[in-house]
């Protein structure tokens, strides 16, 4: 491990000023992803800016009545078990509890979870020379390599990695808003615009600028809490990333679907939503044949590689099974 400086700012302004003046610095919150990357030699910060004293760990109702504000430093385990989350946003609680291990959830923060790097064996191991995400222009080892966990949607010929977060899939279905602060003041990004597809710049996972910091995540007031579901398929029953997952948030009244949001995890560089597929559910009665058509629309354009062809039928089954369970 390289030598580094460790600083612990007392307020947001000091933290932002430090990151501006130290380009190779990294913010430290839970450290559950940063330390992995550092130990592997993918990250080599010269300064650690420990932001744990910034007081951003609230879980509180928004003054607008009904919504929820979650501080960027709230721990995953605290969010997952908070009564406002379990009662109003069960899909978020389920997704958080499906992720990692209890020890990691106790340390990991909401802001860190949003910033989790995409998972790919070739990215995490610098002994592999080809990775456009780690070393732009060096090629993509996964394209013709072992690509069992890789993307089937939204990928480019530069990168086929997937976002590994469970929480972010639920946030996508809940249409969360990410609050950010930086040198130009505060801004709010919809979760749909926070994570990027790889395109020609796979080294960028998000639209967050290097001198900005996430401060909070806002959730809109829930319309219906009974028909929320997070369904995750993985290689083993705990401490494993999703091969495919789905966060489903339905509104149902008088036997008909009144609103539908479906986000898929494990299939793309970001949580995957298709508004046209969700619109197919508007005003219809829950029914397997309709759900199969919705799954086909969600997966339209899917493209698999040598080792991840199983993901296309698996994702279709996850969508249909998830919709049947959520609407029951």
Nearer to ligand SF4, 91 or 142 (CB): 142
* 123 is a contact residue toward ligand SF4 (CB under 6 A): yes
Minimum gap (Å) between residue 118 Cβ and ligand SF4: 6
* Candidate segments 29-37, 92-100, 130-138, 302-310, binder of ligand SF4 by CB under 6 A: 130-138
Residues 152-171 touching ligand SF4, rule: CB under 6 A, are 159-161
Which range binds ligand SF4 by CB under 6 A, 139-147, 164-172, 236-244, 298-306?
Answer: 139-147
Which of 34, 95, 131, 277 is close enough to bind ligand SF4 by CB under 6 A? 131
Residues 82-121 that bind ligand SF4 (CB under 6 A): 120
Q: What are phi and psi of 181, to 5 degrees?
A: -125, 150
Nearest partner of 192 among 214, 211, 167, 175, judged by Cα: 175
CA distance 293 to 47: 51
Nearer to ligand SF4 among residue 188 and residue 204 (C-beta): 204
User: 74-113 burial, b for 16+ CB within 10 Å, e for fewer?
Assistant: bbbbbbbebeebbebbbbbbbbbbbbbeeeebebbbbbbb
Residue 305 makes contact with ligand SF4 by CB under 6 A: no
* Among 207, 200, 205, 226, CA closest to 286: 226
Q: Which is nearer to ligand SF4, 95 or 161 (CB)?
A: 161
Q: How many angstroms separate the CA atoms of 25 and 31, rounded?
A: 14
Write the DSSP symbol of residue 253.
Answer: E
DSSP string, 23-92: TTEEEESS-TTHHHHHHHTS---SEEEE-TTS----EEE-TTSS-EEEETT-BHHHHHH-HHHHHH-HHH
Q: How far apart are CA 168 and CA 95, in angstroms?
A: 9
CB nearer to ligand SF4: give 21 or 144. 144
For ligand SF4, the binding residue among 85, 140, 267, 315 (CB under 6 A) is 140
Rounded Cα gap, residues 195 and 156, in angstroms = 15
Measured from the Cβ of residue 126, the count of other Cβ atoms closer than 10 Å reads: 13
- State the CB neighbour count (10 A cutoff) for residue 275: 10
Query: Could you give the CA distance from residue 301 to residue 296 in angstroms, rounded to a whole number?
Result: 10
Closer residue to ligand SF4, CB minimum distance, 113 or 147: 147
298 binds ligand SF4 (CB under 6 A): no
Q: For the segment 210-269, give every residue that binds ligand SF4 (CB under 6 A).
A: none
Stretch that binds ligand SF4, among 133-141, 216-224, 280-288, 302-310 (CB under 6 A): 133-141
Q: How many residues bind ligand SF4 (CB under 6 A)?
A: 13
For ligand SF4, which residue of 51, 142, 191, 250 counts as binding (CB under 6 A)?
A: 142
Residue number, 159 or 176, with CB nearest to ligand SF4: 159
The piece of 39-47, 52-60, 136-144, 224-232 that touches ligand SF4 (CB under 6 A) is 136-144
Residues that bind ligand SF4 (CB under 6 A): 120, 122-123, 131-133, 140-142, 159-161, 202
């Amino acid at each position: 491990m390289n030598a580094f400086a460790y600083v612990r700012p007392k307020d947001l302004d000091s933290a932002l000023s430090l990151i501006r003046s130290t380009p190779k610095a990294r913010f430290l919150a839970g450290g559950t992803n940063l330390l992995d990357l550092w130990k592997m030699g993918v990250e080599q910060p010269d300064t650690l800016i420990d932001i744990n004293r910034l007081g951003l760990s609230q879980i509180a109702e928004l003054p607008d009545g009904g919504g929820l504000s979650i501080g960027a430093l709230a721990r995953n385990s605290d969010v997952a078990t908070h009564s406002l989350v379990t009662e109003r946003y069960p899909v978020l609680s389920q997704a958080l509890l499906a992720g990692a291990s209890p020890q990691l959830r106790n340390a990991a923060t909401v802001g860190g979870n949003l910033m989790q790097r995409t998972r790919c064996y070739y990215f995490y191991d610098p002994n592999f020379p080809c990775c456009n995400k780690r070393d732009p222009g060096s090629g993509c080892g996964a394209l013709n390599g072992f690509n069992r966990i890789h993307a089937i949607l939204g990928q480019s010929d530069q990168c086929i990695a997937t976002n590994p977060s469970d929480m972010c899939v639920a946030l996508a279905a809940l249409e969360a808003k990410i609050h950010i602060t930086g040198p130009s003041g505060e801004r709010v990004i919809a979760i749909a615009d926070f994570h990027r597809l790889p395109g020609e710049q796979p080294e960028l996972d998000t639209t967050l600028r290097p001198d900005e910091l996430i401060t909070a995540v806002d959730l809109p007031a829930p319309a219906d809490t009974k028909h929320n579901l997070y369904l995750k398929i993985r290689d083993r029953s705990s401490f494993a990333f999703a091969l495919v997952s789905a966060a489903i948030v339905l509104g149902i009244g008088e036997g008909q679907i009144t609103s539908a949001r479906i986000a898929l995890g494990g299939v793309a560089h970001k949580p995957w939503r298709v508004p046209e597929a969700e619109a197919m559910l508007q005003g219809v009665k829950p029914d397997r044949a309709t759900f199969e058509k919705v799954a086909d629309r969600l997966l339209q354009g899917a493209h698999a590689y040598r080792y991840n062809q199983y993901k296309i039928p698996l994702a279709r089954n996850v969508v249909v099974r998830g919709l049947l369970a959520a609407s029951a």
